[in-house]
Amino acid sequence: MTTILVTGGDGYIGSHCTIALMNEGYDVVVFDNHSTGFKSTGEALKDVKSEGRLLDNIEGDLLHPEDIDGAFREHHIDAVIHFAAFSQVAESMSDPGKYYMNNVAGTMGLLDSMRRNDVRRIVFSSTAATYGEPKYVPIDESHPQWPINPYGRTKLDIEYMMDDYDRAYGIKSVRLRYFNVAGADSEGRVGECHDPETHLIPNILKSTFRDGIEFKMFGTDYNTRDGTCVRDYVNVEDLADAHILALRYLENGGKTDYFNLGTNEGSTVKEVFAACEKVTGMRIPIKIEGRRPGDPATLVADNKKAREILGWEPKRSLEDSIRTAYAWERKKRGLTSSP
Protein backbone atom coordinates (compact mmCIF):
# COMPACT_ATOMS: atom_id res chain seq x y z
CA MET A 1 0.00 0.00 0.00
CA THR A 2 1.34 3.45 -0.94
CA THR A 3 1.56 5.94 1.94
CA ILE A 4 1.23 9.69 1.39
CA LEU A 5 2.23 12.39 3.86
CA VAL A 6 -0.25 15.30 3.71
CA THR A 7 1.07 18.45 5.36
CA GLY A 8 -1.75 20.75 6.42
CA GLY A 9 -4.11 17.79 6.13
CA ASP A 10 -6.53 19.15 8.74
CA GLY A 11 -7.08 22.36 6.74
CA TYR A 12 -9.81 23.14 4.24
CA ILE A 13 -8.32 21.75 1.03
CA GLY A 14 -5.98 19.30 2.78
CA SER A 15 -8.84 17.48 4.52
CA HIS A 16 -10.76 17.04 1.27
CA CYS A 17 -7.61 15.73 -0.40
CA THR A 18 -7.04 13.30 2.48
CA ILE A 19 -10.52 11.84 1.95
CA ALA A 20 -9.93 11.58 -1.81
CA LEU A 21 -6.61 9.79 -1.24
CA MET A 22 -8.17 7.25 1.09
CA ASN A 23 -11.05 6.70 -1.33
CA GLU A 24 -8.46 5.85 -4.00
CA GLY A 25 -6.78 3.26 -1.76
CA TYR A 26 -3.85 5.30 -0.42
CA ASP A 27 -2.79 5.22 3.21
CA VAL A 28 -2.38 8.72 4.61
CA VAL A 29 -0.34 10.36 7.36
CA VAL A 30 -1.55 13.88 8.21
CA PHE A 31 0.97 16.42 9.53
CA ASP A 32 -0.45 19.71 10.82
CA ASN A 33 0.52 22.33 13.41
CA HIS A 34 -3.13 23.45 13.73
CA SER A 35 -2.25 27.13 13.50
CA THR A 36 -4.99 27.45 10.89
CA GLY A 37 -6.23 23.85 10.51
CA PHE A 38 -8.65 22.40 13.05
CA LYS A 39 -8.03 19.47 15.38
CA SER A 40 -11.70 18.51 15.09
CA THR A 41 -11.15 17.79 11.38
CA GLY A 42 -8.92 14.89 12.37
CA GLU A 43 -11.83 13.30 14.22
CA ALA A 44 -13.98 13.53 11.08
CA LEU A 45 -11.22 11.97 8.99
CA LYS A 46 -11.01 9.00 11.35
CA ASP A 47 -14.59 8.07 10.52
CA VAL A 48 -14.10 7.99 6.73
CA LYS A 49 -14.94 4.55 5.35
CA SER A 50 -12.62 3.91 2.42
CA GLU A 51 -10.15 1.56 0.79
CA GLY A 52 -7.17 3.40 2.29
CA ARG A 53 -6.50 4.27 5.92
CA LEU A 54 -5.63 7.30 8.00
CA LEU A 55 -2.51 5.88 9.64
CA ASP A 56 -1.67 8.85 11.83
CA ASN A 57 -2.51 12.47 12.50
CA ILE A 58 0.66 14.12 13.76
CA GLU A 59 0.74 17.53 15.41
CA GLY A 60 4.05 19.04 14.40
CA ASP A 61 5.72 22.02 12.75
CA LEU A 62 7.79 22.08 9.57
CA LEU A 63 10.09 24.61 11.24
CA HIS A 64 11.08 21.90 13.75
CA PRO A 65 13.26 19.32 11.92
CA GLU A 66 12.72 16.73 14.65
CA ASP A 67 8.94 16.85 14.07
CA ILE A 68 8.98 16.22 10.35
CA ASP A 69 11.92 13.79 10.48
CA GLY A 70 9.99 11.82 13.11
CA ALA A 71 7.01 11.51 10.75
CA PHE A 72 9.22 10.14 7.98
CA ARG A 73 11.02 7.73 10.33
CA GLU A 74 7.83 6.39 11.90
CA HIS A 75 6.06 5.74 8.60
CA HIS A 76 7.31 4.55 5.23
CA ILE A 77 6.33 7.64 3.20
CA ASP A 78 6.26 7.28 -0.59
CA ALA A 79 5.30 10.85 -1.54
CA VAL A 80 4.17 14.16 -0.08
CA ILE A 81 1.26 16.50 -0.78
CA HIS A 82 2.09 19.87 0.71
CA PHE A 83 -0.69 22.26 1.83
CA ALA A 84 0.81 23.69 5.03
CA ALA A 85 0.99 27.47 4.54
CA PHE A 86 -0.43 30.78 5.67
CA SER A 87 -2.70 32.19 2.98
CA GLN A 88 -4.29 35.49 4.04
CA VAL A 89 -3.23 38.17 1.54
CA ALA A 90 -3.96 41.14 3.83
CA GLU A 91 -2.04 39.58 6.72
CA SER A 92 0.91 38.88 4.43
CA MET A 93 1.04 42.61 3.66
CA SER A 94 1.10 43.62 7.33
CA ASP A 95 3.37 40.79 8.55
CA PRO A 96 5.47 39.49 5.64
CA GLY A 97 8.09 37.98 7.95
CA LYS A 98 5.52 35.53 9.30
CA TYR A 99 4.80 34.38 5.73
CA TYR A 100 8.39 34.03 4.58
CA MET A 101 9.26 32.08 7.72
CA ASN A 102 6.29 29.72 7.68
CA ASN A 103 5.78 29.26 3.95
CA VAL A 104 9.31 29.46 2.51
CA ALA A 105 11.48 28.32 5.43
CA GLY A 106 8.88 25.69 6.39
CA THR A 107 8.88 24.25 2.87
CA MET A 108 12.67 24.23 2.81
CA GLY A 109 12.60 22.23 6.04
CA LEU A 110 10.18 19.77 4.44
CA LEU A 111 12.27 19.36 1.30
CA ASP A 112 15.45 18.85 3.33
CA SER A 113 13.70 16.19 5.41
CA MET A 114 12.56 14.51 2.19
CA ARG A 115 16.21 14.45 1.07
CA ARG A 116 17.35 12.92 4.35
CA ASN A 117 14.63 10.27 4.15
CA ASP A 118 14.93 9.50 0.42
CA VAL A 119 11.45 10.69 -0.60
CA ARG A 120 11.54 12.10 -4.12
CA ARG A 121 7.98 13.13 -5.09
CA ILE A 122 5.90 16.10 -3.93
CA VAL A 123 2.67 17.77 -5.05
CA PHE A 124 2.57 21.41 -3.97
CA SER A 125 -0.40 23.66 -3.30
CA SER A 126 0.53 26.81 -5.20
CA THR A 127 -1.73 29.67 -6.26
CA ALA A 128 -2.85 31.88 -9.12
CA ALA A 129 -1.58 34.75 -6.94
CA THR A 130 1.87 34.05 -8.41
CA TYR A 131 0.64 35.66 -11.65
CA GLY A 132 -0.25 39.03 -10.12
CA GLU A 133 -2.28 41.47 -12.20
CA PRO A 134 -3.48 39.66 -15.33
CA LYS A 135 -2.01 40.76 -18.64
CA TYR A 136 -4.61 38.68 -20.48
CA VAL A 137 -7.41 36.22 -19.71
CA PRO A 138 -7.90 33.36 -19.56
CA ILE A 139 -4.56 32.98 -17.76
CA ASP A 140 -2.38 30.12 -18.98
CA GLU A 141 0.84 28.78 -17.47
CA SER A 142 2.95 30.97 -19.79
CA HIS A 143 1.53 34.13 -18.25
CA PRO A 144 4.24 36.25 -16.53
CA GLN A 145 4.56 35.62 -12.79
CA TRP A 146 4.70 38.99 -11.02
CA PRO A 147 2.93 38.54 -7.67
CA ILE A 148 1.72 41.74 -6.04
CA ASN A 149 1.69 40.63 -2.39
CA PRO A 150 4.01 38.70 -0.05
CA TYR A 151 1.68 35.68 0.01
CA GLY A 152 1.99 35.24 -3.76
CA ARG A 153 5.73 35.92 -3.62
CA THR A 154 6.29 33.21 -1.01
CA LYS A 155 4.51 30.69 -3.23
CA LEU A 156 6.58 31.72 -6.23
CA ASP A 157 9.78 31.50 -4.17
CA ILE A 158 8.80 27.93 -3.28
CA GLU A 159 8.25 27.08 -6.95
CA TYR A 160 11.76 28.33 -7.74
CA MET A 161 13.13 26.36 -4.78
CA MET A 162 11.48 23.18 -6.05
CA ASP A 163 13.09 23.67 -9.46
CA ASP A 164 16.49 23.92 -7.77
CA TYR A 165 15.85 20.87 -5.57
CA ASP A 166 14.91 18.88 -8.65
CA ARG A 167 18.08 19.86 -10.51
CA ALA A 168 20.36 19.27 -7.52
CA TYR A 169 18.69 16.43 -5.61
CA GLY A 170 16.21 14.79 -7.99
CA ILE A 171 13.06 15.72 -6.03
CA LYS A 172 10.26 15.82 -8.60
CA SER A 173 7.37 18.20 -7.99
CA VAL A 174 4.02 19.19 -9.41
CA ARG A 175 2.84 22.71 -8.55
CA LEU A 176 -0.92 23.20 -8.75
CA ARG A 177 -1.90 26.85 -9.14
CA TYR A 178 -5.43 27.24 -7.78
CA PHE A 179 -7.89 29.91 -8.70
CA ASN A 180 -10.92 30.44 -6.37
CA VAL A 181 -11.78 27.31 -4.38
CA ALA A 182 -15.35 26.73 -3.20
CA GLY A 183 -17.67 24.08 -1.80
CA ALA A 184 -17.48 21.35 0.81
CA ASP A 185 -17.44 17.57 1.08
CA SER A 186 -20.58 16.20 -0.56
CA GLU A 187 -21.18 13.92 2.45
CA GLY A 188 -20.84 16.79 4.93
CA ARG A 189 -17.81 15.43 6.78
CA VAL A 190 -15.48 18.42 6.30
CA GLY A 191 -15.76 21.93 4.90
CA GLU A 192 -14.46 25.47 4.97
CA CYS A 193 -13.86 26.90 8.44
CA HIS A 194 -11.47 29.87 8.37
CA ASP A 195 -11.09 32.47 11.10
CA PRO A 196 -11.31 35.12 9.83
CA GLU A 197 -13.23 34.01 6.76
CA THR A 198 -12.26 36.07 3.70
CA HIS A 199 -13.79 34.04 0.85
CA LEU A 200 -16.87 35.36 -0.93
CA ILE A 201 -19.19 32.34 -0.97
CA PRO A 202 -18.97 31.28 2.71
CA ASN A 203 -19.33 34.91 3.78
CA ILE A 204 -22.46 35.34 1.65
CA LEU A 205 -23.87 32.13 3.13
CA LYS A 206 -22.99 33.19 6.68
CA SER A 207 -24.94 36.41 6.10
CA THR A 208 -28.15 34.37 5.61
CA PHE A 209 -28.03 33.39 9.28
CA ARG A 210 -28.00 37.04 10.47
CA ASP A 211 -31.33 38.72 9.75
CA GLY A 212 -31.14 42.25 8.41
CA ILE A 213 -27.38 42.39 7.86
CA GLU A 214 -26.48 43.73 4.45
CA PHE A 215 -23.66 42.16 2.48
CA LYS A 216 -21.27 44.61 0.84
CA MET A 217 -20.64 44.37 -2.90
CA PHE A 218 -17.48 46.22 -3.93
CA GLY A 219 -17.57 47.78 -7.39
CA THR A 220 -20.30 47.56 -10.03
CA ASP A 221 -18.60 49.57 -12.77
CA TYR A 222 -16.02 47.06 -14.05
CA ASN A 223 -15.79 46.28 -17.75
CA THR A 224 -17.58 42.93 -17.36
CA ARG A 225 -20.96 41.61 -18.44
CA ASP A 226 -22.79 43.04 -15.40
CA GLY A 227 -20.23 45.49 -14.00
CA THR A 228 -18.97 43.26 -11.15
CA CYS A 229 -15.72 41.32 -10.88
CA VAL A 230 -15.41 37.92 -12.58
CA ARG A 231 -13.72 35.05 -10.75
CA ASP A 232 -13.12 31.38 -11.58
CA TYR A 233 -14.62 29.13 -8.88
CA VAL A 234 -13.31 25.55 -8.79
CA ASN A 235 -15.00 22.97 -6.57
CA VAL A 236 -12.87 21.67 -3.70
CA GLU A 237 -13.66 18.01 -4.49
CA ASP A 238 -12.65 18.56 -8.12
CA LEU A 239 -9.47 20.14 -6.76
CA ALA A 240 -8.80 17.06 -4.61
CA ASP A 241 -9.22 14.87 -7.69
CA ALA A 242 -6.51 16.92 -9.42
CA HIS A 243 -4.07 16.14 -6.61
CA ILE A 244 -4.65 12.41 -7.09
CA LEU A 245 -3.96 12.78 -10.82
CA ALA A 246 -0.83 14.84 -10.13
CA LEU A 247 0.41 12.18 -7.73
CA ARG A 248 -0.15 9.44 -10.30
CA TYR A 249 1.62 11.56 -12.90
CA LEU A 250 4.72 11.61 -10.67
CA GLU A 251 4.37 7.91 -9.82
CA ASN A 252 4.46 7.20 -13.55
CA GLY A 253 7.73 9.07 -14.01
CA GLY A 254 6.40 12.53 -14.84
CA LYS A 255 8.81 15.45 -14.82
CA THR A 256 8.62 18.50 -12.56
CA ASP A 257 5.82 20.71 -13.91
CA TYR A 258 3.04 23.18 -13.01
CA PHE A 259 -0.65 23.38 -13.83
CA ASN A 260 -3.52 25.83 -13.46
CA LEU A 261 -6.62 24.53 -11.72
CA GLY A 262 -9.78 26.39 -12.66
CA THR A 263 -12.91 25.86 -14.68
CA ASN A 264 -11.95 27.93 -17.75
CA GLU A 265 -15.06 29.96 -17.00
CA GLY A 266 -15.88 32.79 -14.64
CA SER A 267 -18.81 33.98 -12.57
CA THR A 268 -19.51 37.59 -11.68
CA VAL A 269 -20.12 38.64 -8.09
CA LYS A 270 -23.77 39.31 -8.97
CA GLU A 271 -24.09 35.82 -10.46
CA VAL A 272 -22.63 34.30 -7.29
CA PHE A 273 -25.17 36.22 -5.19
CA ALA A 274 -28.01 35.05 -7.44
CA ALA A 275 -26.84 31.43 -7.18
CA CYS A 276 -26.62 31.72 -3.38
CA GLU A 277 -30.17 33.09 -3.24
CA LYS A 278 -31.40 30.26 -5.45
CA VAL A 279 -29.75 27.56 -3.31
CA THR A 280 -30.77 29.03 0.05
CA GLY A 281 -34.21 30.22 -1.01
CA MET A 282 -33.50 33.51 0.76
CA ARG A 283 -33.13 37.11 -0.36
CA ILE A 284 -29.70 38.43 0.63
CA PRO A 285 -29.62 42.21 1.26
CA ILE A 286 -26.78 43.91 -0.63
CA LYS A 287 -25.12 47.27 -0.08
CA ILE A 288 -23.19 48.61 -3.07
CA GLU A 289 -19.76 50.02 -2.21
CA GLY A 290 -16.98 51.46 -4.36
CA ARG A 291 -14.17 49.38 -5.82
CA ARG A 292 -11.50 48.01 -3.54
CA PRO A 293 -7.95 48.90 -4.61
CA GLY A 294 -6.11 46.10 -6.38
CA ASP A 295 -9.15 44.04 -7.43
CA PRO A 296 -8.67 42.97 -11.09
CA ALA A 297 -11.83 42.96 -13.20
CA THR A 298 -11.40 39.36 -14.38
CA LEU A 299 -9.41 36.35 -13.16
CA VAL A 300 -10.11 33.17 -15.13
CA ALA A 301 -7.92 30.11 -15.64
CA ASP A 302 -6.93 28.44 -18.86
CA ASN A 303 -6.95 24.79 -17.71
CA LYS A 304 -6.01 23.20 -21.04
CA LYS A 305 -2.63 21.95 -19.80
CA ALA A 306 -4.13 20.13 -16.80
CA ARG A 307 -6.77 18.56 -19.03
CA GLU A 308 -4.28 17.37 -21.64
CA ILE A 309 -1.43 16.16 -19.40
CA LEU A 310 -3.12 15.17 -16.12
CA GLY A 311 -6.46 14.18 -17.64
CA TRP A 312 -8.25 16.45 -15.15
CA GLU A 313 -11.72 17.77 -15.87
CA PRO A 314 -13.76 19.85 -13.39
CA LYS A 315 -17.12 18.12 -12.96
CA ARG A 316 -19.07 20.17 -10.42
CA SER A 317 -20.92 23.43 -11.07
CA LEU A 318 -20.94 26.67 -9.10
CA GLU A 319 -24.37 25.71 -7.73
CA ASP A 320 -22.96 22.34 -6.62
CA SER A 321 -20.25 24.18 -4.68
CA ILE A 322 -22.74 26.56 -3.08
CA ARG A 323 -25.13 23.73 -2.20
CA THR A 324 -22.46 21.72 -0.33
CA ALA A 325 -21.04 24.86 1.31
CA TYR A 326 -24.53 25.82 2.53
CA ALA A 327 -25.15 22.32 3.89
CA TRP A 328 -21.83 22.59 5.76
CA GLU A 329 -22.76 25.99 7.23
CA ARG A 330 -26.07 24.56 8.43
CA LYS A 331 -24.37 21.53 9.93
CA LYS A 332 -21.96 23.74 11.91
CA ARG A 333 -25.01 25.40 13.47
CA GLY A 334 -26.74 22.10 14.26
CA LEU A 335 -29.30 22.61 11.48
CA THR A 336 -29.12 19.15 9.94
CA SER A 337 -32.45 19.15 8.10
CA SER A 338 -32.80 20.54 4.60
CA PRO A 339 -33.70 24.26 4.37
Catalytic residues: 151
Strand 267-268 with 230-231, pairing: antiparallel
Whole-number Å distance between alpha carbons of 244 and 28: 12
Q: How far does the chain reach from its first CA to its final CA, in angstroms?
A: 42
Whole-number Å distance between alpha carbons of 245 and 128: 19
Whole-number Å distance between alpha carbons of 123 and 246: 7
Q: What are phi and psi of 117, to 5 degrees?
A: -110, 15
Q: Which helix (H) or strand (E) holds 167?
A: helix 150-169
Whole-number Å distance between alpha carbons of 182 and 259: 18
Q: 38-49: b or e for each residue (b if 16 or more CB lie within 10 Å)?
A: beebbebbeebe
Q: Which helix (H) or strand (E) holds 4?
A: strand 3-7
The answer to whether 258 and 141 are in contact (CB under 8 A) is yes
Whole-number Å distance between alpha carbons of 161 and 108: 8
